[in-house]
């Protein structure tokens, strides 16, 4: 049996093409939140901090950090700025 190789990005693009515009937009929004979640978790784990320790450093609750890392939160710009500032990182927002 001959298996066809396909890249995930190609597969995803093909399957999203069959979905409604509303579905694709919601998917993109969730993808953005998950990318943000990964970045925040990586920043925290690089410092070997628990969510509670990281939250205290940033000045938010542990549940806020947990929800961001799970992709369940849409943190406001002030929270994002403080996460960067308290971790010597510059918050950069761009559109591509």
What is the arithmetic mean of pLDDT over 62-81?
93
Q: Write down the pTM of the prediction.
A: 0.77
Helix ranges (DSSP H) in 1-96? 8-16, 21-46, 51-58, 62-69, 77-85
Question: What whole-number distance in Å separates Cα of residue 75 and Cα of residue 33?
Answer: 9
pLDDT in tens, 77-90: 999 999 999 999 99
Domains (range + CATH), the chain: 8-85 (1.10.260.40)
Three-state DSSP class for residue 89:
coil
């Amino acid at each position: 049996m001959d298996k066809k190789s396909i890249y995930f990005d190609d597969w995803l693009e093909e399957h999203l093409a069959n979905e409604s515009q509303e579905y694709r937009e919601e998917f993109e929004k969730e993808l953005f939140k998950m990318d943000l979640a990964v970045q925040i978790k990586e920043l925290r784990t690089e410092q070997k901090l628990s969510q509670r320790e990281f939250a205290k450093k940033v000045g938010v609750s542990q549940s806020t950090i947990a929800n961001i890392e799970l992709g369940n939160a849409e943190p406001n710009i002030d929270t994002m700025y403080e996460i960067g500032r308290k971790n010597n990182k510059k918050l950069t927002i761009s559109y591509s």
